[in-house]
Every structure is written in C-alpha cells, then in structure tokens.
Structure 1
C-alpha cells in the first residue's frame, strides 16, 4: 500500500478532527498539508500510520488556533462556524451532533489543547495514552485536561426525539410563517427562550450581538423579511447535522439559516452572512 492509499483510509477521520478543531473549512487545507508531510516519510519506519496522521493534524490545528487567537478576539460581531454540508456524511446522529452550531460554539469556550483532548477522547474515542503521544503530555495530564474541558461543555441539551424529516417540516413551517408574517404561528413554533445568532463578520449586515427571547427574535425577523429581494431562492440543505436553507440570489449565496430544535420547538437560529464563509457553498 502506498502513501496515497494509506492516507485515503483515514482522510474522513482527519477532516472530522480538523473541522471540529477549527470550525472552518480551512480543515481541508490542514488535511492536504498533512498528506504532503506524510508523503515525505518512509512507510517502512511507520508503526502506527493512523496515530501519526492524527498527531500531525491535531498539532497543526492547535498551532493554527493559537496563531489566530488575536484575529478571533477582534472578530466583528458574533463568530459562527463556517457552514458544513452534512447530508452525505456517513456519520451517526450522535457524531453529527458534535458538528452542530451549538456544540461548535461550546468548543469555543476551551483552549486549543483542551479542545484537542476533549475531541480525541469523547468524540473520537482515543485512549489517554494515544492522546498523550499526540499532544506530547502525560496520560494523567490528559485526564485532567479532559475533566476540565467537560466541566465547560454542557451536552445535556441534546435531544434526539425528532427525526430529521420532522425537523425539516418544522423548518418549512417556520419559513412559511416568516414569509406570511404569521405572528401566531411564529409564537407557536419558537421556544420562549429562543436565541438568534447572526454572523456578518463586519462584511455583511448582521446583528452584532445574539438576540434572546421569542418576542425579540420575531421582531428582528419581521424587519429582516421586509428587506429580502424579490428574486430570492430558498434551497433546502442539511448543514452541521441540522435542517437548514441557503438563501441565494442568482448564483450568489447571500445567507444560510440553520435551526436547532429542542423539545419540538425551534430553540436556536443561526444566520451566516459573512461572504468569506459562504464562498464554498455556491451552487
């Protein structure tokens, strides 16, 4: 087996780690750089290619997160992960949950090393000895890091009581209610503590801070709907494991809208308008 064939076996795993680490499709560049580095190595000297590839990807992601810290802190408005189409991903419902906007935002509360340890242990099921080799720390230290990370990560909000088909229908009802300015239906569809997050990155109009509460969210949406162009196309898609739509004018993607459903109601809405995060979604 040559380098390319061996690498291909683990490519989806490596991308999964990199995307969850970075929250952006820069993960593709990290994976490609990893292959280029791997290609230079003598296969005869590699005992554990999977472990080596995970180590290279993880360390590159940690380095990139550390170098981008100041840029992230200076980001204009709310930062949201770059939307990832997941309809064709061969991942379980539980695995897709760890790609959700809500979960990715929770990861933002962790340091790069905490993020790496938490993901490798709790999402990708590596043992502490493997993780220790990956980040060059002792297994005991990795246990402590994982414990700290879990304190900051609240996964109790996860709900699987609705199928994707049911979630899609709820999203469709929401869009119809928005388009028709149907206040009663919006109140019925949205959770009382609904949250609206909008990411324009200073390059597109967006709410600079999250909007909390059903009434405020509805008020904001009503104003937004008045400004939508008449030729707007609404294209259904699954993004980050959640029902979503792409709003497009001509060949230009103007926005994505993703909803998170809790207990049969829309609890969170994520709107991404930053053009830098939409380029790779052009259809």
Structure 2
C-alpha cells in the first residue's frame, strides 16, 4: 500500500475512529490525541499484511483508548463538582444517516449515556461502544480485543445491564427537543420564572459542570422550584455581551451561550413527555475550546 493510498484509507475511516475514541473517553481532546497516535502507528508501521484497514484501525484506536482510560483512572484525579462529557458536535449535515442508524448513534453519544458509561471498566466500555454504537458482532469484538467470544458476550451483557439500569429515560424526537430548547432558552434568558415552571418537570434535575474553573452549582439541584429560581436568578444578574445560538451537540439540540462572542456555556436538556427532566450546564472553559469554530 503506497503512502498516498494509506493516507486516503486513514482519512476515509477517521470519522469512525474519532467516534469510537470519543465515546470511549468522553473528551474531544483525548479522542483526537488517540486518533493522531493511531495515524502515527498506521503511517509508520508495516501495512503489508493489513487486508481490512477499517478493522485494523478500529482495533488500534480502541486499544489506545483503553490505555488512555486506564491512565486516567490510575491518576485518580479529583474533579471539582459534577462531571459531564465534553460537548461534541454531531451535525451530520448532508451526510446524515438514515433514521434507525441516527437513533443508535445519537443515543450512544448522548450526555446521559456517556455519564453512565463513565462508571464502566475500560474493557466494558470498549465492548459496549463497539457493540451498541457500531454494531460489531461479538466475534469481531473478540478478535479486536484478543478475548474469547464468551468473555466478550459476558462483558457486553454486564455493560448493557449497567447502562440500562442507570440512564434516565428521554425523548429523542429532535424537532420536539429543539422546540423545547428554544422555549427554555427564551424563558431562561428573560428570567421568566413562570414560563420556566411550565417547562420543567416537578422532579427536574440541574447538573452543572464547571470543574471549579467558573461559576456553576457544585451540587446537583433537584425540583422545579430550585432549578427555576436558579435559572431566573442568573438572568436577573445580567451577563454583558450575551448571545446564544442553537446547534447540535451529542446528538441533540443544545444552546451555546456566548459572552462577547466567545463560548461561555452549553445548555442541553433531557426531555420526556413534553417536560424538561434534566438540565445540563457545561461551563468548564477547558471543555468549550472545541466549540470555538462553532461560534
């Protein structure tokens, strides 16, 4: 395989590799680092025996992501306040997959699922991502991870059960979610407590991720009264140079809030039966850098 052919093959599969790495790590920068390392191994290695470039590259990327996860867990770093994944642009544009495939991809990259996946072991997470998000057969996953198929099936069953038991239910209809996101943004920006209370479920939760580097609740807020008053209070204080736009992040509509033209926060909602069940706020500046181009 010539250098040009090898480069073309890698670029063809780069979106899949980045998708695997992000779902494994929940961090855009780490995912990009893993994909870059996969490229270096692909470009500098012996490719004479590689018959299926995609399978080979997914294998390398998955193993690198597992190693990165183990390193992160071994460091035992303490995160200030609730942790949320780094926002990930998922606007498919003209290359949008069909409805069924999109639903699977959307679910596997949602904030709710990624938060639960953070509690899986690195191997469980790898098996879950390859099986649930990308539809790999058990035999294929076993070959990728050098594990026996029975062991892979056991890992998959354990991971699936764990995720299903812990993730919240939510509607995936993008049109409905966008409508509610727009109404929520208007009510929150205007400090309209009455309008907010109409949108919030009685047991709504607000999860804020600042990493201790900006202002956001360090504990999860629960109940419509607490969440509504918190959001209305932000508007009353006023934010100079405020603007916002709706874009697709993690498979669903989200509000990107800008201050003087720079990303300041991301708001995303989990919606069920026409009411907001969870409000996610990401304000850690380290997690907003990848959205600079989206502003």
Q: State the TM-score, normalized to the length of structure 1.
A: 0.93
- Equivalent residue in structure 2 for 1:275, among 248, 262, 285: 285
Residue-pair matches, total = 281
Q: Which position in structure 1 is the counterpart of 2:262? A: 252
1:127–1:88 Cα change, 3 Å = closer
Computed over aligned residues only, the root mean square deviation of the Cα atoms, in angstroms, reads: 1.8
User: Any residues of structure 2 matched to 1:127-138 within 5 Å, and which?
Assistant: 127-138=137-148
Deviation at 1:166, TM superposition (A): 2.8
Q: Which position in structure 1 is the counterpart of 2:37? A: 33
Q: Which position in structure 2 is the counterpart of 1:139? A: 149
Q: Which position in structure 2 is the counterpart of 1:102? A: 112
Q: Which position in structure 2 is the counterpart of 1:24? A: 27
Deviations 1:95-140 (A, max 9, x none): 1121111111111121111000111112211112221122221111
Deviations 1:28-72 (A, max 9, x none): 121121011011233321133222111110111111111111556
1:107–1:277 Cα change, 3 Å = same
Q: Which position in structure 2 is the counterpart of 1:170? A: 180
Deviations 1:173-224 (A, max 9, x none): 1122223333332121111221111110011111112112211111221222
Q: Which position in structure 2 is the counterpart of 1:149? A: 159
Aligned partners of 2:32 and 2:190: how far apart in 1? Answer: 40
Aligned partners of 1:267 and 1:80: how far apart in 2? Answer: 16
| 1:236 correspondence with 2:246 | yes
Aligned partners of 2:80 and 2:152: how far apart in 1? Answer: 34
Q: Which position in structure 2 is the counterpart of 1:15? A: 18
The answer on whether the counterparts of 2:184 and 2:199 sit within 8 Å (CA) in structure 1 is yes
The answer on whether the counterparts of 2:191 and 2:233 sit within 8 Å (CA) in structure 1 is no
Aligned partners of 2:168 and 2:182: how far apart in 1? Answer: 26
* Structure 1 stretches lacking a partner, 5+ long: none
User: Any residues of structure 2 matched to 1:56-135 within 5 Å, and which?
Assistant: 56-71=60-75, 73-88=77-92, 90-91=96-97, 92-135=102-145
Q: Which position in structure 1 is the counterpart of 2:232? A: 222
The answer on whether the counterparts of 1:258 and 1:269 sit within 8 Å (CA) in structure 2 is yes
The answer on whether the counterparts of 2:205 and 2:222 sit within 8 Å (CA) in structure 1 is yes
The answer on whether the counterparts of 1:242 and 1:260 sit within 8 Å (CA) in structure 2 is no
Does the residue aligned with 1:126 lie in a helix, a strand or coil?
coil
Q: Which moved more, 1:121-130 or 1:52-61?
A: 121-130
* Structure 2 stretches lacking a partner, 5+ long: none
Aligned partners of 2:195 and 2:243: how far apart in 1? Answer: 22
